[in-house]
Homo-oligomer: A and B are copies of this chain.
Amino acid sequence: MSEKRKPSGFLLKQRAFLKLYLITLTEQERLYGLKLLDVLREEFQPFGYRPNHSEVYKALHDLIEEGILEQVKKKKEGMKYQEVVYYRFTEEGYKKAQLYKRQLKTELDRCEALIRKAIKDNFS
């Protein structure tokens, strides 16, 4: 029974994959609250992957909980009463984010190797 709960180390989890993208979007100053889901869906559409609302916002929430990102509200230029919500790194956040990215690079390389192995083992 206890074996069931141990992670088997198959492919990386969707949550981690999305957190990685959210970090990179923050680096590029492209992480806006409202457009986020559309930006990601458009990005992955050619790959048959359509992240759902709850997965994306859970990933964002995780990064805030972990003290990596923080929300900022900014008045829209020329719009007196409208504001946009975007995200930036906290003071400590950038360093933590870089560490997370390094871990994810290792994980993505591992997953790529596992998939290539499966292609080789089963189709050659």
User: Distance in Å from the Cβ of A9 to the closest Cβ of chain B?
Assistant: 5
Q: Is A101 an interface residue (CB 8 A)?
A: yes
**Residues of chain B with a CB closer than 8 A to A117's CB:** 47
Copies in the complex: 2
Residues of B within 8 A of A3 (CB): 52-54
Residue in chain B with minimal CB distance to A44: B114
A72: interface (CB < 8 Å): no
Q: How far is the CA of A117 from the CA of B101 in the complex (A)?
A: 15
CB-nearest residue of chain B to A24: B122
As a 0/1 sequence over residues 20 to 37 of chain A, the CB contacts with chain B under 8 angstroms (1 = contact) are 110110000000000000
Which among A6, A24, A49, A51 has the highest number of chain B CB atoms within 10 Å?
Answer: A49
User: What mask results when residues 86 to 115 of chain A are scored 1 for a CB within 8 Å of chain B, else 0?
Assistant: 000000000000000100110011111111
